[in-house]
Structure 1
């Protein structure tokens, strides 16, 4: 599978960029899946629902199926978080997997950068970042810099990078 990431500091616009990229790349006829890495405790389930109750009772995995979608939830129960490579083996084949987060993983990435974060670009010390999508000019950048809102140009760059 072809992989490309979107990374950046908190509140830099990663999720919005991911959302726009998925829509743009899918509109160009490519199949796209996503991986979102969260550093905090997150739950896609609702307290009180049957699947939540199954997990709370101690189930290791809960598969929720409906006529519109299915989801497999896996409780680590103290085990280490699986590596990105291992998680990717569980996904169905698509043209491109867009990955949000995983700053230090080796797959190629575009950095979402907003000046208001007050932090320097991550690309200064991360060789896996191939371009920056910024809300301000970055005259000292040595990588390609796109306007953060120029989704078509960013998508074109990513698709060229992965050979699609």
Structure 2
């Protein structure tokens, strides 16, 4: 599986870029999966539902299935957070995995950047950021794309990965 990341600070446009890239690559006939890192507690389950009740009761894993989808939830219960490599190993094979977050890992990334956030560019000090998708002109030693030019960003990623 080929792996490429989308990184950036909060409100930089990462999720929108991820969404557009998934649609772009899927539209090109590639199979795509995503991994999203969260820095906060989150829950994909709802109190009162059977699966939530199983988890709260102490189940290590809960697999929920229907004719349309299935989901596996694993509780860490104090165990260390799995590494990106550990999580990738759990995915079914696809042509491309797009990763949102994990900015300190060594996989290649494109940085989403919005000037209005006032945050510094990650790319200036991180060689794993291979390009920047920005809402303003930037003077960098690597490609800079318009944040909304999804096709050009996808072309760059595809070329980098040989897709």
| TM-score between the two structures when normalised by the length of structure 1 | 0.98
Q: 1:101 deviation in Å?
A: 0.3
Q: Secondary structure at the match of 1:5?
A: strand
Q: Which residue of 2 aligns with 1:125?
A: 125
Q: 1:120 deviation in Å?
A: 1.3
Partners of 1:116 and 1:85 in 2: how far apart?
Answer: 33
> Please, which runs of 5 or more residues in structure 2 have no aligned partner?
none
Q: 1:54 deviation in Å?
A: 0.4
Q: Secondary structure at the match of 1:119?
A: coil
Q: How many residues align?
A: 163
Structure 1 moving runs of 4+ over 6 Å: none
Q: Secondary structure at the match of 2:127?
A: coil
Q: Which residue of 2 aligns with 1:159?
A: 158
Partners of 1:86 and 1:60 in 2: how far apart?
Answer: 17
Q: Would you say 1:116 and 2:116 are equivalent positions?
A: yes
| TM-score between the two structures when normalised by the length of structure 2 | 0.99
Partners of 1:13 and 1:31 in 2: how far apart?
Answer: 23
Q: Which residue of 2 aligns with 1:74?
A: 74
Measured against aligned partners, the alpha-carbon deviations of 1:40-92 in whole angstroms (never above 9, x if no partner) come to 00111111111000000000000000010000000000000000001100000
CA-based RMSD: 0.5
> Please, which runs of 5 or more residues in structure 1 have no aligned partner?
none
Alignment of 1:7-22 (within 5 A): 7-22=7-22
Measured against aligned partners, the alpha-carbon deviations of 1:89-136 in whole angstroms (never above 9, x if no partner) come to 000000000000000000000000000110111001111100000000
